[in-house]
């Protein structure tokens, strides 16, 4: 018997004791940095000579740890080990599998500031953003544990048929390749991996190259409980080497991926190929990019809209798939909203987030990202009017800091209005009226999140029907989905239409078996 699922509360940082606890966690984490971490395959720790360092983007010379780079042979070994382990793990009762998640959730909750502190250092999250990431990871564990128990046997849903005794059970698929991004480096891998495991699959988990440390800490929560060898394999390394191999391997049954559109498409194509010895068509669960918009009409609460625009665009430096990288404002209130949004953005504090709670925006994740974003800013100066920002923020340690950057007067078809920049760059577009604003919002290849600020019931109803995004929000920002509250995932090029944190998400990791016994 389990209590009803409840979302993990966010930390109330207005309390000095919580601030002190977070600072202490940062110090604890810093005191144990720098270790070399192995691959873990079939319960064996394997160290490779070739390693890659995970660094602090606020101070790039600061190495947080090194990780072995897996090879194609390691990838083969990991898939084959998982395949063996699956033979017994698949028959472990759902409630027993769920207990691994519940215990991991409890342990993560006890040490939540430590997990958050690692993300402050490894990817430059502010305290508030890191805290939300950890809370979401805890939620996934607690939520999927309950869903797995609910979904294991659905015989009660069948239509009675007297001559037979009936059963409908949801059984796992097999070996899952779980491939994660760096931007929600705890919540997303925890969600994908725990969904796969609790459904009875064995997992080869490939963390993102830029954030293996927090993922490593999360895997420890399962290994320390004694999850059977081979059920959860940790395969660090490059996406194009080990990632591609675990996608291609004929014993892989499904791929659970979150990341960019380009890599997602590539995985979708590779997974479609049937290799010699392969007995199934691979399933892909792909969660990809976004170019999300916040719409404001002339009836909106303009102050709330300006705040929502800035929060949606610049939370975690705009490095969220759900980031509101476009704002579409009807002309009547355009100047007013834009000037207020610029004013709010100009007050955001940029800096190394371990300096304290007062830092709103940390660094972008690495040099490559910084270069890509600066290129888009250059494009933006041709395509719109630079209203704020546009420059790096230089620090003695060479951190990858950028000002929040706002372009106004952008055309709907401009590159900065169409392509995912994945950084603190906001493109603002004027619209003739609400209908035009909605047209512009839908006029991208993505369809992940969207917001509308309006007081008009008829427009909210039109948007409810016609705003084509997986996660639609009215009179609030377009980021910050909660597990079980806002099932998350987008349409079109934002992915394969799955909904993480929803009652039916685990069905993507299972297949239904109907059994009838003639009596």
Nearest-approach distance from CB 485 to ligand NAD, in angstroms: 16
Q: H/E element holding 515?
A: strand 510-518
Q: From the candidates 136, 321, 420, 478, which is the catalytic residue?
A: 321
Nearest-approach distance from CB 244 to ligand NAD, in angstroms: 4
Nearest-approach distance from CB 187 to ligand NAD, in angstroms: 9
Angle at 355 between CA 351 and CA 356, to 5 degrees: 105
Angle at 507 between CA 190 and CA 215, to 5 degrees: 10
Q: Which of 70, 289, 392, 501 binds ligand NAD (CB under 6 A)?
A: 289
Nearest-approach distance from CB 504 to ligand NAD, in angstroms: 16
Phi, then psi, of 103 in degrees rounded to 5: -70, -40
Q: Is 141 one of the binding residues for ligand NAD (CB under 6 A)?
A: no
Q: From the candidates 8, 129, 136, 287, which is the catalytic residue?
A: 287
Q: Which of 203, 219, 227, 267 binds ligand NAD (CB under 6 A)?
A: 267
Q: Is 181 one of the binding residues for ligand NAD (CB under 6 A)?
A: yes
| Structure tokens, 419 | 């392509």
Binding mask 185-204 for ligand NAD (x = CB under 6 A): ---x----------------
Q: Is 349 one of the binding residues for ligand NAD (CB under 6 A)?
A: no
Q: Which of 314, 422, 467, 473 binds ligand NAD (CB under 6 A)?
A: 422
Q: Is 182 one of the binding residues for ligand NAD (CB under 6 A)?
A: yes
| Structure tokens, 167 | 């059963």
Q: Residue count at the site for ligand NAD (CB under 6 A)?
A: 32
Other Cβ atoms closer than 10 A to 439:
15
Of 170 and 322, which CB lies nearer to ligand NAD in the complex structure? 322
Whether 446 contacts 105, CB under 8 Å: no
Tokens 């800013």: give the residue: 377
Q: Which of 209, 229, 332, 443 binds ligand NAD (CB under 6 A)?
A: 209
Which DSSP letter does residue 429 get?
A: E
Q: Which of 193, 288, 313, 481 binds ligand NAD (CB under 6 A)?
A: 288
Q: Is 321 one of the binding residues for ligand NAD (CB under 6 A)?
A: yes
Residue nearest to ligand NAD (CB): 239
Of 209 and 229, which CB lies nearer to ligand NAD in the complex structure? 209
Distance CA 22, CA 53 (A): 25
Of 94 and 180, which CB lies nearer to ligand NAD in the complex structure? 180
Q: Which of 263, 370, 506, 510 binds ligand NAD (CB under 6 A)?
A: 263
Q: Which of 67, 184, 205, 505 binds ligand NAD (CB under 6 A)?
A: 184
By DSSP bridging, strand 401-402 and strand 392-393 are antiparallel
| Structure tokens, 110 | 């006890």
Segment near ligand NAD (CB under 6 A), from 10-18, 39-47, 220-228, 236-244? 236-244
Distance CA 317, CA 309 (A): 13
Nearest-approach distance from CB 210 to ligand NAD, in angstroms: 7
Nearest-approach distance from CB 162 to ligand NAD, in angstroms: 46
Question: 66-90: buried (b, 16+ CB within 10 Å) or exposed (e) per residue?
Answer: bbbbbbeebbebbbbbbbebbeebb
Q: Is 206 one of the binding residues for ligand NAD (CB under 6 A)?
A: yes
Segment near ligand NAD (CB under 6 A), from 1-9, 32-40, 283-291, 479-487? 283-291
Phi, then psi, of 120 in degrees rounded to 5: -60, -40
| Structure tokens, 173 | 């698929």
Q: Is 287 one of the binding residues for ligand NAD (CB under 6 A)?
A: yes
Tokens 């005191």: give the residue: 31
Whether 389 contacts 362, CB under 8 Å: no
Give yes or no: 287 in active site: yes
Other Cβ atoms closer than 10 A to 514:
11
Q: Which of residues 442-501 bind ligand NAD (CB under 6 A)?
A: 448, 490, 494-495
Other Cβ atoms closer than 10 A to 502:
18
Closest CA to 327 of 339, 317, 319, 299: 339
Q: Is 420 one of the binding residues for ligand NAD (CB under 6 A)?
A: yes
Of 179 and 510, which CB lies nearer to ligand NAD in the complex structure? 179
Nearest-approach distance from CB 158 to ligand NAD, in angstroms: 34
Q: Which of 260, 278, 395, 496 binds ligand NAD (CB under 6 A)?
A: 260
| Structure tokens, 176 | 């899952």
Nearest-approach distance from CB 328 to ligand NAD, in angstroms: 19
Which DSSP letter does residue 231 get?
A: S
Q: Is 183 one of the binding residues for ligand NAD (CB under 6 A)?
A: yes
Task: Locate all alpha helices (DSSP H) within 452-517, ordered by sequence.
Answer: 457-466
Q: Which of 176, 243, 353, 404 binds ligand NAD (CB under 6 A)?
A: 243
Q: How far is CA 111 from CA 49, 452, 468, in A?
A: 32, 37, 39
Question: 98-132: buried (b, 16+ CB within 10 Å) or exposed (e) per residue?
Answer: bebbbbbbebbbeebbbbbbbbbbbbbbbbbbbbb
Residues in contact with 61: Cβ distance below 8 Å, sequence separation at least 6, in sequence order: 55, 397, 398
Q: Is 247 one of the binding residues for ligand NAD (CB under 6 A)?
A: yes
Nearest-approach distance from CB 7 to ligand NAD, in angstroms: 18
Q: Which of 116, 233, 266, 454 binds ligand NAD (CB under 6 A)?
A: 266
What are the residues binding ligand NAD (CB under 6 A)? 179-184, 188, 206, 208-209, 239-240, 243-244, 247, 258-260, 263, 266-267, 287-290, 321, 420, 422, 448, 490, 494-495
Q: Which residues are catalytic?
A: 287, 321
């Amino acid at each position: 018997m389990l209590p009803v699922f409840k979302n993990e509360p966010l930390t109330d940082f207005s309390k000095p004791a919580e601030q002190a606890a977070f600072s202490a966690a940062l110090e604890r984490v810093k005191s144990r940095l720098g270790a070399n971490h192995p691959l873990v395959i079939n319960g064996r720790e394997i160290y490779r000579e070739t390693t890659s360092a995970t660094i602090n983007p606020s101070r790039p010379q600061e190495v947080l740890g090194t990780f072995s780079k897996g090879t194609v042979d390691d990838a083969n070994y990991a898939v084959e080990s998982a395949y063996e382990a699956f033979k017994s793990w698949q028959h472990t009762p759902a409630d027993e599998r769920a207990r691994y998640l519940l215990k991991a959730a409890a342990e993560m909750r006890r040490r939540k500031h430590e997990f958050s502190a690692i993300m402050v250092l490894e990817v430059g999250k502010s305290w508030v953003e890191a805290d939300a990431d950890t809370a979401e990871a805890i939620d996934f564990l607690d939520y999927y544990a309950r869903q797995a128990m609910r979904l294991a046997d659905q015989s009660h849903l069948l239509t009675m048929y007297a001559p037979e005794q009936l059963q409908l059970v949801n059984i796992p698929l097999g070996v899952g390749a779980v491939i994660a991004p760096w931007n929600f480096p705890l919540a997303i891998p925890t969600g994908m991996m725990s969904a796969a495991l609790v459904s009875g699959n064995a997992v080869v988990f490939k963390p993102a190259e830029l954030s293996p440390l927090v993922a490593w800490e999360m895997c420890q929560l399962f290994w320390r409980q004694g999850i059977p060898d081979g059920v959860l394999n940790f395969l660090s390394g490059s996406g194009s080497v080990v990632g591609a191999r675990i996608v291609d391997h004929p014993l892989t049954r499904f791929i659970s991926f979150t990341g960019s559109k380009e890599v997602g498409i590539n995985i979708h194509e590779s997974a479609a190929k049937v290799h010699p010895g392969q007995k199934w068509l691979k399933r892909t669960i792909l969660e990809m990019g976004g170019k999300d918009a916040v719409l404001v009409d002339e009836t909106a609460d303009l102050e709330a809209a300006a705040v929502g625009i800035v929060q949606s665009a610049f939370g975690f430096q705009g490095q969220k798939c759900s980031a509101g990288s476009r704002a579409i404002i009807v002309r009547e209130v355009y100047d007013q909203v834009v000037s207020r949004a610029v004013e709010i953005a100009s007050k955001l504090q940029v800096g190394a987030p371990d300096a304290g709670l007062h830092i709103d925006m940390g660094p972008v994740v690495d040099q490559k990202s910084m270069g890509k974003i600066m290129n888009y800013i250059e494009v933006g100066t041709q395509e719109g009017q630079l209203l704020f920002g546009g420059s790096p923020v230089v620090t003695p340690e060479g951190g990858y800091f950028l000002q929040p950057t706002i372009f106004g007067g952008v055309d709907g078809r401009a590159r900065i209005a169409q392509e995912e920049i994945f950084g603190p760059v906001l493109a603002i577009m004027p619209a003739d009226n609400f209908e035009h604003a909605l047209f512009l919002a839908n006029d991208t290849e993505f369809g992940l999140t969207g917001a509308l600020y309006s007081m008009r019931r008829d427009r909210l109803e039109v948007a409810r029907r016609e705003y084509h995004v997986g996660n639609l929000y009215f009179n609030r920002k377009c980021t910050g989905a909660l597990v079980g509250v806002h099932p998350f995932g987008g349409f079109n090029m934002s992915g394969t239409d799955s909904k993480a944190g929803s009652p039916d998400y685990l069905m993507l990791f299972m297949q239904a078996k109907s059994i009838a016994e003639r009596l």
